[in-house]
């Protein structure tokens, strides 16, 4: 079964490289070699990735860390909640129209030392978007909760945002489990 993984660097250099091995031979995995960045970028790139995604039955995706980031230092997230919501729901609608099962992974936490991202904002965005996605039929894969329970173990202290090797492994197992369950529902 073909599946697609979309997401920011939490996928690209975190769980993404591990998921194909965990899924095994019964799965063909497409994932962009590109960081899917913020939701608007992912929305735009769905056009570019459409050919590679063709034939996928399940799409697992995450966006959020770039969106919630106060990268400009003006006290505001890069993407406001209304804009994030609009982009995320549009992504969901497109994916749901093209693929059998769509899974959204919640945004993972950061360390308290992260200068641009705050867990309160991450949690607020997760809490806001997940019920709206669920109402549309998107499956929610909660990566935030297990990671926030032991940030020093799961989030790197050198950059305060990316997954440690252990964090990447735990997330990869959760992603593979969610994909397997969705695939079983299609059998």
As a whole number of angstroms, the distance between CA 118 and CA 123 comes to: 9
As a whole number of angstroms, the distance between CA 23 and CA 105 comes to: 17
Average pLDDT over residues 54-62: 99
Is the pLDDT confidence value at 169 over 90? Answer: yes
Helix axes 81-98, 39-53, angle to 10 degrees: 10
The pTM assigned to this predicted structure is 0.97
Task: Please provide the size of the chain in residues.
Answer: 187
Q: What is the pLDDT of residue 187?
A: 86
Tokens of residue 45, six digits:
């790139």
As a whole number of angstroms, the distance between CA 133 and CA 126 comes to: 10
Mean residue pLDDT across the chain: 98
Average pLDDT over residues 21-32: 98
The full set of domains in the chain, from first to last, is 2-186 (3.40.50.1110)
pLDDT band at 159 (very low <50, low <70, confident <90, very high): very high
């Amino acid at each position: 079964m073909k599946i697609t993984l979309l997401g920011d660097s939490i996928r690209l250099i975190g769980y993404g490289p591990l998921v194909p091995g965990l899924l095994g031979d019964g799965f063909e995995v497409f994932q962009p070699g590109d960081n899917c960045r913020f939701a608007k970028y992912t929305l735009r790139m769905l056009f570019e990735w459409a050919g590679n995604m063709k034939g996928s039955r399940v799409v697992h995706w995450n966006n959020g860390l770039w969106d919630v980031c106060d990268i400009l230092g003006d006290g505001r997230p890069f993407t406001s909640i209304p804009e994030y919501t609009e982009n995320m729901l549009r992504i969901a609608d497109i994916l749901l129209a093209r693929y059998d099962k769509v899974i959204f992974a919640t945004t993972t936490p950061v360390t308290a030392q992260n200068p641009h991202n705050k867990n309160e904002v991450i949690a607020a965005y997760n809490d806001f978007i997940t019920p709206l996605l669920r109402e549309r039929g998107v499956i929610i894969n909660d990566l935030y909760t297990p990671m926030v329970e032991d940030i020093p173990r799961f989030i790197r202290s050198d950059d305060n945002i990316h997954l440690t090797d252990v964090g990447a492994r735990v997330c990869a197992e959760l992603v593979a489990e969610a994909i397997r369950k969705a695939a079983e529902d299609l059998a």
